[in-house]
Chain A
Amino acid sequence: MAPAKKRNVKPEKSQKGVKTAKMDPNSCVERILESRKHANDVFDLLELLQSEDEKVLISAMSACTTLFCTLLERKELFTGKLHPEDEALIGGFTAEEKCQIFMRHRYNSCVEMLLEQLSHEEFNVKENALCCLIKCATAQGRHPLEDLDWSEHYSFPRELIQAVVENLVSKTTDNSLLISRFQQFLEMEDLRFYVMSSIRESVGQVMEKNKGALMPVYQNNVFTLMTNINMPSQESELTSFMVQQEAKHNDWKAAKLTEHKRVFERMWLGFLKYKLPSNMYKKILVILHDSILPHMSKPTLMIDFLTAAYDVGGAISLLALNGLFILIHQHNLEYPDFYQKLYNLLEPSVFHVKYRARFFHLANIFLSSSHLPVYLVAAFAKRLARLALTAPPTALLIVLPFIYNLIRRHPACRVLIHRPSAERELIKDPYLMDEEDPAMCHALDSSLWELKTLQNHYHPDVAKAAMLINTPLSGQEDDINEVLEITTHEMMERDLKHSQKKSVPLEFETATQLLKGGGNVLGQHFCLN
């Protein structure tokens, strides 16, 4: 049942607030609980909930929570379908029932006000409101206000949680802090279950209303909330519940992992259905493979999303690779022209993006198959070598062993670095860089002259690595994973720490002026002042 739409705090009363503001909310609670005589003090308490003062507000919140939780426990709140207050007064209820109806209405307005406070500026207030709401929800779950039997949700206060979620994923303010606070409650299985379904509903409604246009703040909130959901991996892990159902617990949806997964999946799909900002695209793709796909009941449903992402190009494609890999590898996804697309992903920027390590890790896995055609492998090797001409040394330390590994796995590719049949011939490089189809690019007819060039690279490690093509490659594959994460600074440190023993060679030519020396390039283009 939705909270009452109409607030029943009377305006006259609230004007008296100045006086009542001073009174202690806790004593007020005690009085109300003592006897029904003081029931009207509830209004004062609710009034405090709108106070400007932070402290008062917080204490009022906790007071309200204790009050209503106690009332719930005492079953002094009306259960069943609630009539509007006016009707209730007229209708044929007993005095007892009337009182309960009255209190029930107060409870509803209290919850409403707490929900409102979730968008307060102060984080303290927000946090307190959230905690109070959860407490209320817990109490309500234990002492349901509805009749049980006909609900598939059993005694879980679904409406309340949905309201909380809707307030959390605000459209205007970034609630990431509050959401991360909320994460601790998400440990509870049933709560998580209902939060997920509420998210799905909320996203559906909101995005539909907005006709699928971008809503960065809202989507960001939703994304934060969704990423904070930690799914259990086994049924047996479903232990902590907010509301324990006495009867038929095992039939409850929230107690089944498959149901959890289904809801989780529906939530994500619902979210991904709509247009996303590009940076969120990247964020989702980054976490997709290890925190989303494994928890879906049917991961193959992600195919559409991933193929779309793979076709976007650039960094997003690189990131989509990971998810695709899992689908191909574990879920038998057939992806036509996968290698051609991978081949076309190789651009100079591959060596400069943040996800370089991940990309090469995956590419290494994709190309480790020994059933690949030789032309394809050669095309990859050649293209990588060509691109290496623009790569920074850290990338070169990855690419060179990568190429060597390709050649080792596919001995037929050895012609790229060793073609004794045409030893004396002078040939132009037949490789076509612009050709999109690896089958047509003539990579097999070419040689890796680029590596020859890199033997003159300025960094000794790179030059040494490139020197390896002068001799037959060793049988052992190089382990790329060691160098994947290397940074320039680490390379620098190696030199800075290195060679402490040997004496330092010094410049032979005497330095006389700042700009002289070294071919005088600087001096020709720049002056001192």
Chain B
Amino acid sequence: MGKVQKKKSLADKVRKTKTSTEIKNNPFEVKINRKKFEVLGQKIKHDVGLPGVSRSKAIKKRKDTLLKEYKQKNKSNKFIDRRFGEYDTKMAPEDKILQRFAMERQRGHDKKDVYNLNEEEELTHYGQSLAEMEKFTDAGNSDDETEEKGLLSAELTASHFGGGGGLLRKKGPGDQEEEGGQRTKSRQELIEELIQKSKQEKRERQVKKEEAQELTEKLDQEWKSIQALMVKKTPKDADAEKTEEKPKVEEYDMMVRELGFEMKAQPSEKLKTPEELAREETEKLQKLEVHLTLISTLILSPTLPLIITVCVCVCVCVCACCGQADRLRRMMGDEGRDSSQHQVHMSADDLNDGFILDKHDKKTLAYEDGKWNIEDESEGGQDEDEAESGEDQETDAEEEEDDDEDGKEESAEEEGEGSIEKEDDDGHSDLDSEEEESENEEENEDDDVVSVPKPKKKSVTKEEQEAAKAELPYTFTAPENYNCLKNLLNCHTPDNQRLIVARMQKSNHPSLAVGNKLKLQNLLGFLLEYVGELATRNPPDLLTVDKLIPELYTLCQMFPEAARQALQSIMGDVAHSMEEVIEVNGHAPFPTLDMLIYLKVIALLFPTSDFRHPVTTPALLFIGQALTKCPVRSLQDLTSGLVLCCLAVEYVSLSKRFLPELINFLFGTLHLAVQDKTSLGYSVVPPFRRSGKHCDLLVVSDSESISSWSRKSLPLSACKHLELEEDRDRDQHRLTCLSTCLDLVKRCCLLYKELTSFTHIFQPIRVLLSKHLSSQTLPDSLQELQSEIVEMISSAPAAHRVLVFDKKKPIPLKLLTPKIVEVLDYGKKRGSSREEREQERLKHKYKKEFKGALREIRKDSRFLAREKLSEVMNRDAERKRKVRELFGSLATQEGEWKALKRRKRK
């Protein structure tokens, strides 16, 4: 049918073109627009016009649109024919009917099908009919191989060669003879035939399968009968038999089949997005919390009264519960590891602690109020009466010992007598590594073994303590302000603090709720503040800071912008106050320990090697300023300075960028160690002075200490608080500082080896080391280091290539390319700039369009007027005609009447 259509349209075209050319060629139709000047190569659209044609076109268009509209005017209803293809002349009527029928069917189908269960539609799975699968559930796949071996069926070949579709099968011998008759068959018949065929095929297949199954069943039975005999044979024989039995399977077939059976890209477990992971994590934590509370309520209620009387009973209970709690904890993964370790060796006496985390049971939450051991007190009171007297002092001493655990010990104190003795161990176990914890727990185990028979409060309370610490709630709300966070973290061990922050972070993941992002961003700020506070404490609690670093890192990864802002504001404030002090005094005190820690944290969170970075560049500037503007007045200052130097070296270790302040400071530090400052041969750089009050800071006072010195790392807290009463200690410290300094110098040498001015940069250091320090007695290791440095400096190449500008590309000659002026529609427009030209063009266009539109409107109204006129004329003519008719009839009537009259008269 498509062909027919084409022909038609083609014919139309031909006819039309013919007419148009005819018209074009007709000199009476053509109007030639005469040109004034002939321009070579210019193409003009409108050199020839066909006014007649265009007028008739316009009229026709108006008739189609304007006239129709006019006629529809004041008419509210409209008849629209929506029959399919009614106005489509290109469609054959037969086609139209077919399409309409199909559509009709479809419409009914769509609506009905939703609830129609009896529809003859086959459900499939993996392209196989479900119904069939149900029927042959037993047909094992393993047997298929044996059955089909060696068969080269038509189907098989068909599937192998040329992709088995219906096409090939149709061309089979059976089909071919029909082919002749098929042409005559109508479509309807054809379809019916097809359906029939497929049904037949289906039936055949079914039958085949049934047969096959019967056969296999039969075989199975037979096999069973033989099996008894087969047992005696070696499996190898059986194998051999098998292989013999089967004629070898073609590899190709095997392969094809294997491919067929291979799972087709099954959906594996979905890769989880970070948000999903976070959600899962929180769900898990919440679930665990619920579990724990449940377990504790269940178990506590019966056991608590029993503790006093029946220990054994409790043992059993607890063991069971411990197992469960443990399992639950293990589910948590690595976060839970710490806590689970506490629980691994839980003994019978732990009963209370494993499940203290009951919200309803207020007395149990040791870390909240620490008043949960009422039972123990009643029990332990008798035993520990004697111990009570000494306890107070003990606790005092302990408090001094480990400050980190202040909070905990306070709670412990409240707990009272029972717990005090164990706090010692407690503190250690929490502070120290896990190994020690396990040791502790092993001890506990031992305890248990020995003391199961008698009721012992010692281990009980001890475990309670540990458990109280270990048992943190699984979910935390994000703190509203800094104080919230501080209060929350204050009384926990560093490990637990980290755990708390980690959980807080997980339970407030930004993908879980809308406000969480903000909360975590705040948390980041608070954490940074907290880190600063930890560093300002006396003594600084750097262990906790250390533990919090990974959390800070993850938070920073989540919110780089917030981290940047927080650190920038911290740094801005400190730098600002420093600047103010410098403006007044000309120098400033060294930055405090918290700032040093911040600088280190910055180095951990942000890349220090960037050419320009919003955080690390100011940080480096700050370090540089501190190193130039802070005079060294004590060993403490010197330690801060060395920390800054270490940081500076770390900052530039990757990028190897040159930091003059660093070299100056190290050089000045070495200068402090020079004993004889009379003939120096070099000049020191501020903030150091050639000689003066604090210029002998690093000169070792006692030569004995040199021999006894051994290298130890300096504590960071030495920047804050340094107490060295004895000369000996001071000497030790001096030597350590000196060794640090020398090591840093060595590192700098390595870093800056490549610089062209390397020798000039290190020249003064070399003079100092080789002329002054070498003559002084120093420990061997330092001497060695020193000579190494001198060696390194003097071995550097002194000769360099002369400076020359970079070679630049030769500038190409100016080419005389033609200037291209853009000619937009409506010609080129004047105007200096592009915008102006564009504006001109638009103005022009607007004017033209406006004129055109006016003309069109005029033409329209003229057309309408004409139409109206012709309408009126038509109406008038009609009326005239009718009147004349009437007159005519009247005349005839009268004529007849007169004739009749005349006849009568006659």
Contact = CB atoms under 8 A, between A and B. Distances in A.
A247 interface: no
A157 interface: no
Interface string B549-566: 110110011001101100
Contacts of A492: 571-572, 575, 618, 621-622
A35 B661 CA distance: 83
A521 B653 contact: yes
Interface string A447-468: 1111111101111100100000
Contacts of A452: 756-757, 803
B600 A390 contact: no
Given A417-B803, A488-B621, A525-B743, A511 B552 contact: yes
B607 A354 contact: no
A389 B586 CA distance: 22
Interface stretch (A63-71, A132-140, A368-376, A419-427): A419-427
Contact of A506 (B556, B683, B760): B556
Given A420-B804, A512-B549, A505 B613 contact: yes
Contacts of A423: 801-802, 804
A461 B757 CA distance: 20
Nearest to B561: A504
A353 B571 CA distance: 25
A522 B643 contact: yes
A419 B804 contact: yes
Contacts of A353: 686
A270 B500 CA distance: 76
Contact of B760 (A429, A503, A518, A528): A429
B882 interface: no
A147 B601 CA distance: 85
Interface in A90-111: none
A427 B647 contact: no
B40 to A, nearest CB: 49
Contacts of B655: 458
Contacts of B605: 506-507, 511
Contacts of B550: 510-512
Given A428-B798, A492-B622, A507-B605, A418 B805 contact: yes
Interface stretch (A45-53, A175-183, A344-352): A344-352
B94 interface: no
A508 interface: yes
Interface string A491-518: 1110110110001111110111111111
B779 to A, nearest CB: 16
Nearest to B711: A525
Contacts of B663: 390
Interface stretch (B245-253, B374-382, B539-547): B539-547
B201 to A, nearest CB: 64
A415 B695 CA distance: 42
Contact of B560 (A354, A386, A454, A506): A506
Interface residues of B, number: 94
Contact of B646 (A386, A487, A498, A522): A522
Interface string B287-310: 000000000000000000000000
B658 A503 contact: no
A424 B757 contact: no
Contacts of A491: 621
B660 interface: yes
Given A419-B804, A522-B646, A349 B755 contact: no
A525 B740 contact: yes
Given A392-B624, A517-B604, A458 B798 contact: no
A487 to B, nearest CB: 6
A522 B715 CA distance: 11
A460 B716 contact: no
Contact of B802 (A447, A460, A506, A528): A447
B806 interface: yes
B760 A496 contact: no
B615 interface: yes
A519 interface: yes
A348 B621 CA distance: 19
B621 A472 contact: no
B683 A347 contact: yes
Q: Which of B610, B622, B646, B654 has its CB near the most chain A CB atoms (within 10 A)?
A: B646
A393 interface: yes
B617 A459 contact: yes
Contacts of A390: 660, 663-664, 685
A39 interface: no
A457 B658 contact: yes
Contacts of B804: 418-420, 423
A391 interface: yes
A385 to B, nearest CB: 9
B311 interface: no
A184 interface: no
Contact of B650 (A487, A505, A517): A517
A150 interface: no
B718 to A, nearest CB: 8
B657 A456 contact: yes
Contacts of B686: 348-349, 352-353
A506 B610 CA distance: 10
A503 B628 CA distance: 32
Interface in B661-718: 661, 663-664, 683, 685-687, 713-717
Contact of A528 (B546, B656, B808): B546
A498 B628 contact: no
A492 B542 CA distance: 28
A426 B546 contact: no
Contacts of B611: 460, 463
Given A424-B801, A449-B800, A511-B604, A522 B756 contact: no
B614 A499 contact: yes
A419 B802 CA distance: 7
B808 A447 contact: no
Interface in A385-430: 386, 389-393, 416-420, 422-429
A10 interface: no
Interface string B591-619: 00000010011011111101111110110
B660 A529 contact: no
A427 B799 contact: yes
A492 B575 CA distance: 8
A496 B743 CA distance: 33
A453 to B, nearest CB: 4
B459 to A, nearest CB: 30
A392 B625 contact: yes
Nearest to B650: A518
A37 interface: no
A528 B715 contact: yes
A417 B799 CA distance: 16
A471 B798 contact: no
Q: Tell which of B560, B576, B755 has the most Cβ of chain A within 10 Å.
A: B755
Contact of B608 (A386, A424, A493, A518): A518
Contacts of B647: 522
Nearest to B554: A510
B799 A510 contact: no
A506 B683 CA distance: 41
Interface of B: 539, 542-543, 545-546, 549-550, 552-553, 556-557, 560-561, 563-564, 568, 571-572, 575-576, 578-579, 586, 597, 600-601, 603-608, 610-615, 617-618, 620-622, 624-625, 628, 642-643, 646-647, 649-661, 663-664, 683, 685-687, 713-717, 740, 743-744, 747, 755-758, 760-761, 798-806, 808
Q: Which 4 A-B pairs have the closest CB atoms?
A: A518-B650, A519-B653, A489-B579, A511-B604
20 contacts: A349-B683, A393-B624, A419-B804, A426-B800, A450-B757, A451-B803, A453-B757, A459-B621, A469-B803, A489-B576, A492-B622, A504-B615, A505-B607, A506-B557, A518-B608, A518-B654, A521-B747, A525-B642, A528-B546, A528-B715
Interface of A: 347-349, 352-354, 386, 389-393, 416-420, 422-429, 447-454, 456-460, 463, 469-472, 487-489, 491-493, 495-496, 498-499, 503-508, 510-519, 521-522, 524-529
